[in-house]
């Protein structure tokens, strides 16, 4: 996987701002977004301002979603704006129309474009040719909006980022974005994956440049031993169905269970494959904070949208 970030990532430049990967943000911008998210979350609905009144978001979805679609559509309503959902039957990203044409046409209609697609390069192309902010709502390589919600949840749980997190499972798109977010905030991160399923070299290098690269191991128990929180995600993501049998074999021993976790909080970006990467008991335990994490997709993205509109 190639996890290149946007070229238009300087919040002080005259260009519009995008979020293609989490490190399109400076640490200062990330802090401002999380502060804004927390403030909006804490305010009574009647006290929240509506900075996106009269503005419209185009939502380009090649991949299905529950949390991403509902949180963005609800967020636009709460912020005073309007969202237009465009599913696979409504868009032609790179199929019948070049992405650059889609980007330029939509820029004449809407104020934001979000894209939940397979190829990371498609979002890079949208960001290059659009004249409005482009938000990566998930690609096969990155999921920066999930990382915003994860960081907001961890900050709420620990009162900041002085904490140790163990990621147990696949070094996938969620893991790679989280590794960069951890480096930006100073979280101590250990990633436990089977051999061959770790994060990409360029993500490791970028994390090191941002702060500190995560510790990596093939031993889940060792990763969790000194952790304050355990995070996992599915072993078989969308588009990997033909690898299912091999992956289930390779990830044997990496299941998040009550015996592995103990009394530590558990996070999962959802949807969960109960009985595979996590047991039902672990997901339903009193220490699991996955539902707070899921709700925080709404609040974190509201903070992002308000920041982009400044």
Q: Domain containing 172 — which CATH number?
A: 3.40.50.1370
In the chain, what percentage of residues exceed pLDDT 90? Answer: 87
Q: Is 268 annotated as a binding residue?
A: no
Mean confidence (pLDDT) of the chain: 93
- Structure confidence at residue 244 (pLDDT): 87
E strands present in 128-246:
134-136, 164-168, 188-192, 215-217, 229-232
- Average the pLDDT over 180-198 and give the result: 98
Q: Which of 17, 155, 247, 297 is catalytic?
A: 297
* Whether the Cβ atoms of residue 162 and residue 182 lie closer than 8 Å to each other: no
Q: Within this chain, do residues 128 and 169 fall inside the same structural domain, yes or no? A: no
Active site residue 176: no
- Average the pLDDT over 75-103 and give the result: 90
Decide: pTM greater than 0.85: yes
- Structure confidence at residue 57 (pLDDT): 98
- Structure confidence at residue 4 (pLDDT): 52
Task: Give the confidence band of 94 by pLDDT, cuts at 50, 70, 90.
Answer: low
Could you list the residue range(s) of the whole structural domain that residue 130 is in? 22-35+49-143+297-309
Residue predicted with more confidence, 5 or 141 = 141
Active site residue 233: yes
Q: Is 270 annotated as a binding residue?
A: yes
* Whether the Cβ atoms of residue 150 and residue 173 lie closer than 8 Å to each other: no
On the question of pLDDT at 10 being above 50, the answer is no
Residue 7 in domain: no
Q: Is 269 annotated as a binding residue?
A: yes
Active site residue 269: yes
Q: Within this chain, do residues 125 and 194 fall inside the same structural domain, yes or no? A: no
Residue 223 in domain: yes
Neighbours of 140 (CB within 10 A): 18
- Structure confidence at residue 15 (pLDDT): 60
Q: Is 173 annotated as a binding residue?
A: yes
On the question of pLDDT at 304 being above 80, the answer is yes
Q: Within this chain, do residues 100 and 124 fall inside the same structural domain, yes or no? A: yes
Report how many domains make up the chain. 2
Active site residue 297: yes
Q: Within this chain, do residues 113 and 237 fall inside the same structural domain, yes or no? A: no
Whole-number Å distance between alpha carbons of 171 and 150: 16
CA angle centred on 94, ends 92 and 99, rounded to 5°: 90
- Structure confidence at residue 7 (pLDDT): 41
Question: Helix or strand or coil: residue 267?
Answer: strand
E strands present in 127-256:
134-136, 164-168, 188-192, 215-217, 229-232
Q: Within this chain, do residues 123 and 106 fall inside the same structural domain, yes or no? A: yes
* Number of continuous H segments (helices) and E segments (strands) in the chain: 12, 9
Closest CA to 88 of 55, 130, 53, 122: 122
Q: Which of 23, 24, 122, 233 is catalytic?
A: 233
Active site residue 175: no
On the question of pLDDT at 274 being above 80, the answer is yes
- Structure confidence at residue 242 (pLDDT): 81
Task: Give the confidence band of 13 by pLDDT, cuts at 50, 70, 90.
Answer: very low
């Amino acid at each position: 996987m190639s996890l290149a970030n946007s070229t238009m990532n300087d919040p002080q430049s005259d260009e519009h701002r995008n979020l293609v990967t989490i490190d399109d943000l400076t640490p200062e911008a990330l802090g401002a977004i999380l502060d804004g998210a927390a403030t909006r979350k804490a305010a009574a609905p009647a006290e929240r301002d509506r900075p996106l009144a009269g503005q419209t978001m185009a939502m380009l979805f090649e991949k299905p979603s529950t949390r991403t679609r509902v949180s963005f559509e609800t967020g636009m309503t709460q912020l005073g704006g309007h969202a237009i959902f465009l599913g696979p039957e409504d868009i032609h990203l790179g199929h019948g129309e070049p992405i650059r044409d889609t980007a330029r046409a939509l820029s004449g209609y809407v104020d934001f474009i979000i894209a939940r697609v397979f190829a990371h390069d498609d979002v890079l192309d949208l960001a290059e040719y659009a004249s409005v902010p482009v938000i990566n709502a998930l690609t096969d390589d990155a999921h920066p909006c999930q990382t915003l919600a994860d960081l907001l949840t961890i900050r709420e749980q620990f009162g900041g980022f002085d904490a140790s997190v163990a990621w147990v499972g696949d070094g996938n798109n969620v893991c790679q974005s989280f590794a960069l977010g951890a480096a930006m905030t100073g979280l101590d991160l250990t990633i436990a994956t089977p051999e061959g399923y770790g994060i990409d070299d360029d993500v490791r290098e970028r994390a090191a440049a941002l702060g500190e690269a995560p510790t990596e191991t093939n031993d889940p128990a060792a990763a969790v031993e000194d952790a304050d929180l355990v995070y996992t995600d599915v072993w078989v993501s969308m588009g990997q169905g033909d690898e299912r049998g091999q992956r289930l074999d390779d990830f044997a021993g990496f299941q998040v269970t009550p015996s592995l976790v103990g009394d530590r909080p558990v996070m999962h970006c959802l949807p969960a494959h109960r009985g595979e990467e996590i047991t039902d008991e672990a997901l339903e335990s009193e220490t699991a904070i996955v539902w707070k994490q899921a709700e925080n997709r709404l609040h974190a993205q509201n903070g992002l949208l308000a920041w982009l509109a400044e």
